[in-house]
Chain A
């Protein structure tokens, strides 16, 4: 089955700093999703990437899917306390929307 590894598992940054979260797959990704989860709550969709080399941005969050479509990075610029939460990547490897999720990256932003 598809295996997704996220790194780091947890991250503590000072407000205003930039940070990057990585999601690596052992297989080609047909679709790569990024979600944010506040502790104990539901998942909020951030972005979906499909094409190799594709890059999308939303406010201060940018995500990119590499050319080989096996790794994605999520970059937050000038982090704020509101960015705190768990970031999950999800991958669709067959185009059937059976999404496999990574284990998540827990982000804390210290004021």
Chain B
């Protein structure tokens, strides 16, 4: 089984709808991240969480919110989806402490019509 899972893998929705993307990890990591990827722009950090009680905004947090329900779960919400939020969304985890690699989920492809 994958260490980092994301649901759904694909989603098409309409402008104005509320959407939740979920991420679960079995690696036991404290740190979790949400990124979005747009063609030609690399990955941009939306939110990150260093533990259950610690939530921080990333580069592009406007229009998004997150919830860290447990160490293993970190969800991303779009309160009112808009077309320019159409992108590939990735969740990642890493261990706390010294520099360590981030492990990525398979991604969620979101299309907002």
Q: How far is the CA of A21 from the CA of B20 in the complex (A)?
A: 36
Q: Select the stretch in B62-70, B76-84, B99-107 that faces chain A.
A: B99-107
- Given known contacts A40-B109, A42-B90, A42-B107, is B43 in contact with A30 (CB within 8 Å)? no
Residue of A nearest to B56 (CB): A98
Interface size on A, residues (CB 8 A): 26
Contact B101 A104 (CB under 8 A): no
Q: Which of A11-19, A43-51, A59-67 contacts B (4 or more CB under 8 A)?
A: A43-51
Interface residue? A88 (CB, 8 A) = yes
Nearest B-chain residue to A6, judged by Cβ? B42
**Are B105's CB and A42's CB within 8 A?**
yes
Are B102 and A99 touching (Cβ within 8 A)? yes
Q: Sort A-B residue pairs by CB-CB distance and give the 5 closest, nearest first.
A: A101-B43, A43-B104, A103-B42, A31-B99, A101-B42
